[in-house]
């Protein structure tokens, strides 16, 4: 791979390694900064005195990579809000007792079934200045109308730290929020909420006003609701109003990337701007005007679309392309990728952990690297055939490049992705062209009927096509087990295949065979690891009792609900553990696991007095005298699952505390596991 021979590629790898090490290993801040400063001084001395120092080239190269590594670490440390003394995460009392929290709403998120959700920025706690972002949840029933961006509030309450997943192999929303440097959530009600008279009118306020104005003008023009939700996602990067049905259709059809503003969308805008600016002469002054308009427009679009990682990546790359055209120099796309990544991560290192950022860069990298290889296999002379072959080869390259990571995160594969792209991308070109004009006119308060109807019809047609492809569920492969080991081995195998296809010879064939062998070894290792695992788990499900016993890949389910075997919690568990359901059995009153005797009590609360269990599991709020039962049975541990009323959990916990018996409530602590 020639790209790995670029010095910039090695520097980027060192920089990325530094970010990862700093994220997963909390290094001494002063040691990192001190070492970086020392190495920079040594590098400066070598740079100016290298001509007099023999064999300094190798040492200078190693020094450069060490500096890039430490720069990556320093970048993440500097941008980590938790390291700041005034960040709320360093104030323990705000998590333990009620405080007066002053905040301002920064962004509106997609609502949950019961709450309006916002990202809010803390300004003060108990009249003392603090900073940091939180997730604010306000009830829909009592506060039905959403608040505007820039609304200032004072809330009396306490912050709640992000909870870990309630069940194994469940999406870790806590980890997701932490990577966005949102360390807590706040739930409030109207009686504990005071709204400020004035709004905080910063750049986020005005951008939100523009977005709101555009959507409001389209709504007043009787624009179809579903079409408007998709239009907002396509052009404005706002997915809050998309229904779960539409999102699922786009996922199953392999077109979910269309709903996330990325390089495809920014590319249309870039071409559109160059088209309308074509009449401006290409002399020095005209070229400067063009470049200024293009860069300003791209920057404003990034702000309007919410500055998501994929948008920032796309806008940065096309900005470099615009500068290259202005300087009339050829743009090396690999260099552009590397430089854009370095610049973005230098200021926003946490973007590296964003799924959209990862998939976006991988898709572009494989399109640039693998698509020309695919295109060389067949060169049709017919222009129409060539157009569709280019779309297909780009789709295959992007899909192959993102496949392992997509399987790791989403565990499904849309088999008809190539059909979707062949049909959708030509239509998307029309939608983006008309949509940009419509959104621009709507921002000015102009909504021409004929143009709106053309835009609405094109989006409704797109939705119908996507729905038709998604309805062919036999082509959607779901619940594919995939872990980190398989991700790494898959990418090594894919890269080896592409390298061999580029220029087949014995050395590259040996590399390919080694990659195949390594992939097989990872499969065997993964199989061996799973086969040697045994566990007994109490899952946390509201108003349900679900017990799972796993021996290797075989899972035994214990529940009185016959529909549980199709429950999402169980599917996630089976997929994550490469396992399958052997049998479902009804709940029994006793269970045994690795020598531990487990007594299971249901609503009747009946138990034999001569039973001496190691663990007691309470289900369906049994009618018992908890103190007497604990004194009689003397268990080592008491568990209460999600089928119990929450009102009795505190009483049970108090009784256990008095008798010094550990208590685990799945509603509060998540699932319980015996290994």
* Mean pLDDT on 76-84: 89
pLDDT in tens, 257-292: 777 777 667 777 777 777 777 777 777 777 788 888
Of the candidate ranges 331-335, 395-399, 456-460, the one whose mean pLDDT is the lowest: 331-335
* Mean pLDDT on 44-68: 71
pLDDT in tens, 287-329: 788 888 888 888 888 887 777 777 887 788 778 777 776 766 6
Round to whole Å and give the CA distance between 446 and 220: 11
What DSSP letter does each residue of 87-152 carry, written as one string?
BGGG-THHHHS-EEEEEEEEEE----SSEEEEEEEEEEETTEE-B-EEEEEEETTT--SPPPTTEE
Of the candidate ranges 565-574, 578-587, 653-662, the one whose mean pLDDT is the lowest: 565-574
- Residue 437 neighbours by CB under 8 Å, 6+ apart: 451
For residue 27, pLDDT over 70 is answered with: yes
* Mean pLDDT on 340-358: 88
Round to whole Å and give the CA distance between 617 and 631: 16
Q: What is the pLDDT of residue 654?
A: 92
pLDDT in tens, 236-261: 878 888 888 888 888 888 887 777 77
Single out the residue of 34, 61, 32, 35 nearest to residue 46, CA to CA.
61
Handedness of CA 652, 653, 654, 658 (dihedral sign): positive
The backbone torsions φ and ψ at residue 176, rounded to the nearest 5 degrees and listed phi first, read -60, -45
* Mean pLDDT on 86-110: 89
pLDDT in tens, 182-229: 999 999 888 888 888 888 888 888 888 888 888 888 888 888 888 888
pLDDT in tens, 416-453: 888 888 888 888 878 888 888 888 888 888 878 888 88
The beta strands (E) that lie in 147-191 are given as: 151-157, 160-161, 182-187
Predicted confidence band at 367 (pLDDT cuts at 50, 70, 90)? confident
- Residue 180 neighbours by CB under 8 Å, 6+ apart: 133, 350
- Helix, strand, coil % (nearest 5) of the chain? 60, 15, 25
Is there a contact between 338 and 6 (Cβ–Cβ < 8 Å)? yes
Predicted confidence band at 3 (pLDDT cuts at 50, 70, 90)? low
Tell which wins on pLDDT, 490 or 364.
490
* Mean pLDDT on 147-173: 89
For residue 671, pLDDT over 60 is answered with: yes
* Mean pLDDT on 80-92: 89
DSSP label at 237?
-
580-585 and 590-593 beta bridge pairing: unpaired
Round to whole Å and give the CA distance between 421 and 258: 10
Q: What is the pLDDT of residue 136?
A: 93
Is there a contact between 421 and 258 (Cβ–Cβ < 8 Å)? no
Q: What is the pLDDT of residue 293?
A: 85
């Amino acid at each position: 791979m020639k790209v790995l021979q670029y010095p910039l590629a090695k520097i980027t790898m060192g920089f990325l390694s530094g970010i990862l090490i700093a994220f997963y290993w909390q290094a001494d801040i002063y040691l990192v900064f001190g070492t970086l400063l020392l190495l920079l001084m040594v590098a400066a001395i070598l740079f100016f005195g290298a001509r007099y120092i023999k064999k300094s080239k190798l040492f200078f190269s190693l020094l450069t990579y060490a500096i890039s590594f430490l720069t990556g670490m320093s970048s993440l440390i500097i941008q980590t809000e938790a390291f700041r003394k005034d960040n709320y995460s360093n104030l323990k009392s705000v998590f333990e007792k009620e405080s007066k929290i002053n905040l301002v709403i920064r962004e509106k998120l997609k609502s949950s079934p019961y709450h309006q959700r916002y990202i809010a920025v803390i300004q003060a706690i108990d009249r003392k200045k603090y900073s940091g972002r939180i997730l604010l949840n306000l009830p829909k029933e009592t506060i039905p109308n959403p608040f505007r961006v820039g609304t200032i509030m004072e809330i009396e309450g306490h912050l709640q730290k992000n909870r870990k997943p309630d069940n194994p192999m469940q999406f870790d929303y806590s980890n997701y929020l932490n990577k966005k440097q949102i360390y807590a959530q706040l739930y409030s009600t109207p009686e504990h909420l005071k709204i400020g008279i004035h709004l905080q009118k910063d750049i986020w306020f005005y951008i939100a006003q523009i977005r709101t104005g555009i959507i409001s003008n389209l709504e007043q023009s009787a624009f179809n609701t579903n079409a408007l939700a998709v239009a907002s996602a396509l052009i404005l990067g706002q997915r809050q109003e998309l229904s779960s049905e539409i999102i699922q259709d786009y996922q199953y059809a392999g077109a979910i990337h269309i709903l996330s503003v990325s390089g495809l969308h920014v590319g249309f805008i870039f071409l559109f701007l160059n088209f309308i600016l074509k009449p401006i002469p290409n002399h020095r002054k005209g070229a400067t005007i063009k470049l200024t308009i293009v860069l300003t427009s791209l920057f404003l679009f990034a702000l309007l679309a919410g500055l998501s990682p994929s948008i920032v990546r796309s806008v940065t790359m096309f900005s470099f392309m615009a500068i290259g055209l202005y300087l009339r120099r050829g743009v090396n796309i690999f260099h552009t990728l590397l430089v854009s990544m370095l610049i973005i991560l230098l200021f926003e290192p946490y973007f590296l952990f964003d799924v959209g950022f990862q998939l976006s860069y991988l898709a572009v990298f494989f399109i640039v690297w693998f698509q020309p290889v695919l295109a060389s296999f067949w060169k049709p002379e017919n222009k129409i055939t060539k157009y569709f072959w280019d779309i297909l080869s780009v789709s295959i390259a992007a899909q192959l490049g993102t496949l392992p990571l997509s399987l790791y995160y989403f565990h499904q594969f849309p088999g008809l992705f190539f059909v979707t792209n062949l049909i959708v991308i030509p239509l998307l070109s029309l939608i983006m062209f008309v949509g940009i004009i419509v959104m621009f006119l709507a921002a000015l308060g102009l909504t021409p009927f004929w143009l709106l109807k053309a835009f609405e019809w094109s989006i409704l047609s797109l939705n119908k096509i996507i729905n038709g492809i998604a309805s062919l569920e036999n082509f959607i492969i779901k619940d594919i087990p995939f872990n980190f080991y398989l991700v790494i081995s898959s990418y090594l195998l894919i890269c080896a295949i592409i390298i061999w296809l580029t220029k087949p010879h014995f050395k590259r064939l040996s590399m390919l065979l080694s990659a195949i062998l390594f992939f097989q070894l990872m499969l065997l290792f993964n199989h061996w690891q799973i086969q040697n695992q045994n566990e007994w788990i109490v899952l946390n499900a509201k108003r349900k009792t679900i017990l799972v016993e796993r021996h290797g890949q075989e899972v035994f389910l214990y529940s009185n609900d016959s529909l549980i075997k199709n429950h999402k919690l169980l599917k996630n568990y089976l997929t994550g553990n490469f396992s399958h359901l052997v049998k479902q059995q009804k709940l029994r009153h006793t269970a045994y696991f690795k020598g531990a005797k487990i007594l299971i009590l249901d609503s009747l609360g009946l138990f034999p007095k001569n039973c001496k269990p190691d663990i007691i599991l309470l289900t369906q709020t049994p009618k018992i005298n908890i103190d007497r039962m604990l004194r009689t049975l003397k268990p080592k541990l008491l568990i209460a699952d999600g089928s119990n009323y929450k009102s009795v959990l505190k009483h049970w916990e108090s009784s256990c505390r008095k008798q010094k018996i550990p208590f685990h409530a799945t509603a509060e602590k998540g699932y319980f596991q015996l290994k």
